[in-house]
């Protein structure tokens, strides 16, 4: 079924839904690389106008990847909730945008709507939104998850402490963790990307994180970001696994490229739940995603990368995760070329994830071959903070010395909390106060001029002995 | 965690190259730490955009007693190169025709030197690595002319090696600069190179620079890898598994 729009005597024709979605997508290098982008700016706006007039139902009934060919499509359609969808069932994409921006769409209404939304619907509406629209709607969404602390409450901003080391040296990792804790980071998770994906290393790092957490009496969770099969094997070995991590994408073929399918993710979640380690909640999964991953795996079915990214959130949603984040600028300039494209993509991802009901964070990041710098990251960081982003990364000095890219720093999180009056997760905030790291208002107590505040650090080190 | 020595802050600090203990001014970075970061990023960015000095690289190749051939990829400039990896994987028409027109002779190993994401790395290390590797190879081998490619990605070695009819291609290429090193070189070795080769059919040495894998060690490993590829008539995961089976720990895999 085709779509058309006439502008000033020129008729623009879009042969099918995925072509319409791709042509309507704000510019980015990955869609040009895939050959699906609009030829010029006018064609893009023509597609956006045609998309705005499209009813929502075809976005569900005419999947961008065929139902028979793809288990993600089957997941999306089979779990769609028609009752939750009912209030918007008669709307067009443009009317949905208007409603999302309206005062009627408050936090409660958006929460009720989540199960009635599909990735294709939220991706479609994001394509006709400006940055401020993406920010203001996402800021109305509230998604709260729990394991050993409470993440996503109003007025809170959490951080994943990311203490990576080029050779997985445990003392080096410990040094970065202590540095981060002293700067108030780590309430979302202390999550290590191991340099080597071996079971032995996974077991060593998982036991180390668990011991550290117990000695510090830290109300949080640890995670080693290895492949899901490694986590399952470690659980069989009796390892103290808090969260199970996996990178996921928006098509069955792209997930196969990652070595996973829905059955394997189900098995992993059940294994983690069987340990019963969450003290106040059962959200045991941690997912990462990123625009361009399906194209990179040649598994994109000629669908634009932002729509496919939203489909990855359907995968995440099926497993009640504690945390989900897009690693937005990691993939490189052939997918997101510069600061402008990375900023837009980060806000789209956060918006789509939040609308679908996910505890959405963002790895605000870039590589050295992208046309981006710290100023671009400050802009995205600040916009995401205003949009109510659930968590960001905390990397020492913004420099990940294992993965060789730049993410947000412990300082960046401090900055965002200060200017937006945000605080960490309540249980973690109480712990920071108890350790003498922060006062009752969440402000750091330690001296600014020494590189590390001596008394609380001694307390941390003493607790570890 | 019972070892007291392991728990002193100075000992922990020295256990990681991460930027820890920076201090803070309010929520911000102190000036010195901020400018240290800016310098590292500037060096990395300059390396990505450094003009490729193919003529100087060619002189180093001649010093090794080999013939250089200067080629270009289909990526016309640096911005296209960054946006379109597919164009960096194939030659432009003029280069391809010139290469095809050359008289053919049997070649055991064809070296390819490409700027990749850091011309800085190629200028600093490619000539030295080539010379040190040649010193360690069987002198009876037929080493082909050395293609020096501007705007090249790893897979451009497949097209070049295929046209030359080489049994084995070794691509020396500048790696994506990190904040800690802007001059890191990588080498990718491919048995029977031809367009369409998958990455799992290659073996790779990476992180070649003074503070990473030094030239002499890299040359030893590369010579061993090239010998193994010829002995087993293969590269890639299959060669990695074969070498693991005969317990040869010094060959890196992947890429």
Complex ipTM, two decimals?
0.94
Contact A197, A227 (CB under 8 A): yes
Per-residue model confidence as pLDDT tens digits over A63-117: 999 999 999 999 999 999 999 999 999 999 999 999 999 999 999 999 999 999 9
Contact B176/A368 with Cβ under 8 angstroms?
yes
Question: Which tokens in the block code for residue A459?
Answer: 């307390």
Closest chain A CA to residue B26: A448
A224: Cβ contacts below 8 Å, ≥ 6 apart: A191, A192, A194, A202, A205, A206, A209, A231, A245
The pLDDT assigned to B248 comes to 42
CB B106, CB B165: distance < 8 Å? yes
How many residues are there in chain A? Answer: 465
Nearest CB to B176: which of A334, A369, A397?
A: A369
Cβ contact (<8 Å) for A29 and B41? no
DSSP B254: -
Q: Cα separations (Å) of A6 from A36, A42, A45, A134, A377?
A: 20, 11, 11, 28, 39
Residues 6 or more apart whose Cβ sits within 8 Å of residue A222: A189, A190, A191, A192, A206, A209, A210, A212, A213, A242, A243
- Residue B172 sits at φ, ψ, to 5 deg, of -95, 120
B105's tokens: 């002779």
| B241-250 per-position pLDDT tens digit | 888 776 444 4
pLDDT at A450: 58
pLDDT at position A106 is 98
Residue B249 is predicted with a pLDDT of: 40
Would you call B27 helix, strand, or coil by DSSP?
Answer: coil
Strands A323-326 vs A360-362: parallel, antiparallel or unpaired: parallel
**Mean pLDDT in residue range B194-216:** 90
Q: Taking CB atoms and an 8 Å limit, are B41 and A411 in contact across chains?
A: no
pLDDT class of B1 with cuts at 50, 70, 90: very low
Predicted pLDDT of residue A456 = 79
Distance from CA of A102 to the nearest CA of B (A): 36
| B196–chain A Cβ distance below 8 A for any pair | no
Task: Give CA–CA dist B202/B153, Å, rounded.
Answer: 14
Rounded to a whole number of angstroms, the distance from the CA of A195 to the nearest CA of chain B is: 14
Whether residues A397 and B2 touch (CB distance < 8 A) is answered with no
Q: What CATH class has B54-241?
A: alpha beta
Local confidence band at B6 (pLDDT 50, 70, 90 cut-offs): low
Closest listed residue to residue A216, CA positions, set A461, A424, A413, A33: A461
Q: Look over chain B and give the mean of its residue pLDDT values, rounded to a whole number.
A: 91
Widest distance between CA atoms in chain B: 69
Q: What is the mean pLDDT of residues B171-176?
A: 96
Q: How many CB pairs under 8 A join A and B?
A: 140
Supply the pLDDT for residue B237. 81
CB contact under 8 A, B25 and A448: yes
Q: What is the pLDDT of residues B128-171, one digit of tens each?
A: 999 999 999 999 999 999 999 999 999 999 999 999 999 999 99
User: Residue B3: is its pLDDT beyond 50?
Assistant: no
| Burial class of A322 by CB neighbour count within 10 A (0 to 12, 13 to 18, 19+) | buried
- Give, in order, the Cα–Cα distances in Å from B128 to each of B77, B125, B157, B207, B214: 27, 5, 20, 15, 11
What phi, psi does B18 have (nearest 5°)? -65, 155
pLDDT recorded at residue B8: 76
Substitution target in A336, A369, A455 with the highest count of B β-carbons within 10 Å is A369
Please report the pLDDT score of residue A449 as a whole number.
61
Q: Give chain A's residues under pLDDT 70.
A: 1, 447, 449-454
pTM score of the predicted model: 0.92
DSSP codes of every residue in A288-328: EE-TTHHHHTT--TT--HHHHHHHHHHHHHTT--SEEEE-T
| Residue bearing tokens 């597919």 | B86
pLDDT of A261 reads 97
List CB contacts (< 8 A) between A174 and chain B: 12, 15
Yes or no, beta carbons of A465 and B40 under 8 Å apart: no
Q: What is the pLDDT of residues B78-93, one digit of tens each?
A: 999 999 999 999 999 9
Give the pair of three-digit tokens for residue B216.
């002499």
B7/A461 CB distance under 8 A: yes
Half-sphere exposure of A416 (CA within 13 A, CB side): 34
**What is the distance between the alpha carbons of residues A427 and A306, in angstroms, rounded to a whole number?**
35
- Give pLDDT, residue B2: 42
The ranges assigned to domains in chain B are: 54-241
Nearest to A446 by CA among A436, A459, A431: A436
């Amino acid at each position: 079924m085709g779509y058309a729009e006439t502008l000033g005597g020129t008729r623009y024709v879009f042969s099918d839904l995925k072509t319409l979605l791709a042509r309507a997508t704000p510019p980015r290098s990955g869609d040009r690389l895939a050959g699906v982008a609009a030829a010029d700016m006018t064609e893009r706006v023509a597609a956006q106008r045609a998309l705005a007039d499209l009813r929502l139902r075809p976005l569900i009934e005419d999947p961008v990847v065929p139902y028979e060919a793809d288990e993600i499509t089957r997941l999306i359609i089979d779990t769609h909730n028609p009752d939750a969808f009912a209030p918007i069932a008669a709307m067009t994409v443009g009317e949905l945008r208007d409603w999302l921006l309206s005062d009627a769409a408050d936090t409660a209404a958006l929460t009720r709507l989540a199960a009635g939304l599909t990735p294709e619907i939220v991706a479609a509406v994001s394509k006709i939104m400006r940055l401020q629209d993406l920010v203001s709607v996402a800021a109305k969404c509230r998604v709260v998850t729990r394991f050993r602390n409470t993440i996503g409450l109003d007025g809170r901003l959490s951080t994943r402490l990311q203490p990576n080391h080029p050779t997985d040296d445990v003392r080096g990792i410990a040094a970065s963790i202590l540095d981060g804790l002293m700067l108030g980071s780590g309430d979302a998770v202390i999550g290590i990307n191991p340099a080597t994906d071996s079971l032995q290393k996974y077991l060593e790092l998982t036991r180390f994180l668990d011991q550290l957490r117990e000695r510090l009496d830290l109300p949080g969770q640890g995670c080693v970001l290895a492949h899901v099969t490694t986590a399952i094997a470690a659980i069989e070995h009796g390892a103290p696994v808090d969260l199970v991590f996996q990178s996921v994408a928006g098509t069955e073929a792209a997930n196969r490229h990652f070595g996973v399918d829905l059955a394997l993710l189900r098995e992993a979640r059940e294994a983690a739940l069987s340990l019963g380690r969450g003290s106040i909640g059962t959200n045991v999964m941690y997912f990462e995603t990123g625009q361009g991953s399906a194209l990179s795996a040649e598994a994109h079915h000629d669908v634009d990368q932002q729509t496919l990214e939203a489909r990855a959130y359907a995968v995440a949603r099926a497993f009640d995760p504690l945390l989900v984040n897009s690693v937005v600028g990691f993939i490189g300039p052939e997918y997101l070329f510069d600061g402008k494209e990375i900023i837009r993509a980060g806000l789209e991802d956060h918006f789509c994830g939040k609308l679908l009901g996910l505890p959405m964070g963002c790895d605000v990041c870039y590589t050295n071959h992208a046309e981006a710098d710290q100023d671009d990251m400050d802009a995205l960081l600040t916009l995401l903070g205003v949009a109510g982003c659930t968590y960001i990364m905390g990397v020492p000095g913004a420099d990940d010395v294992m993965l060789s890219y730049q993410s947000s720093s412990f300082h960046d999180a401090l900055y965002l909390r200060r200017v937006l009056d945000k605080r960490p997760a309540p249980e973690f905030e109480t712990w920071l106060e108890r350790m003498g790291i922060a006062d009752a208002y969440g402000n750091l107590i330690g001296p600014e001029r020494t590189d590390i505040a001596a008394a609380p650090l001694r307390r941390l080190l003493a607790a570890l002995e | 965690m019972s070892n007291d020595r392991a728990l002193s802050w100075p000992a922990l600090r020295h256990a990681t190259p991460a930027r820890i203990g920076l201090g803070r001014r309010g929520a911000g970075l102190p000036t010195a730490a901020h400018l240290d970061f800016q310098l590292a990023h500037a060096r990395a960015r300059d390396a990505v955009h450094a003009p490729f000095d193919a003529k100087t690289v060619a002189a180093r190749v001649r010093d090794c007693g080999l013939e250089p051939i200067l080629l270009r990829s289909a990526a016309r400039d640096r911005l296209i190169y960054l946006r379109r990896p597919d164009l960096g994987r194939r030659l432009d028409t003029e280069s391809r025709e010139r290469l095809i027109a050359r008289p053919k002779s049997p070649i055991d190993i064809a070296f390819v030197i490409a700027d990749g994401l850091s011309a800085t790395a190629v200028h600093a290390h490619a000539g030295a690595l080539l010379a040190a590797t040649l010193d360690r190879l069987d002198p009876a081998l037929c080493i082909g002319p050395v293609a020096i490619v501007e705007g090249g990605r790893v897979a451009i070695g497949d097209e070049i090696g295929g046209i030359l009819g080489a049994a084995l291609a070794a691509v020396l290429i500048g790696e994506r600069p990190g904040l800690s090193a802007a001059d890191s070189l990588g080498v990718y070795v491919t048995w029977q190179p031809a367009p369409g080769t998958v990455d799992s059919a290659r073996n790779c040495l990476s992180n070649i620079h003074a503070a990473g894998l030094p030239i002499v060690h890299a040359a030893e490993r590369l010579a061993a890898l090239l010998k193994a590829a010829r002995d087993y008539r293969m590269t890639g995961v299959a060669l990695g598994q074969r070498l693991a089976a005969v317990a040869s720990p010094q060959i890196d895999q992947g890429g």
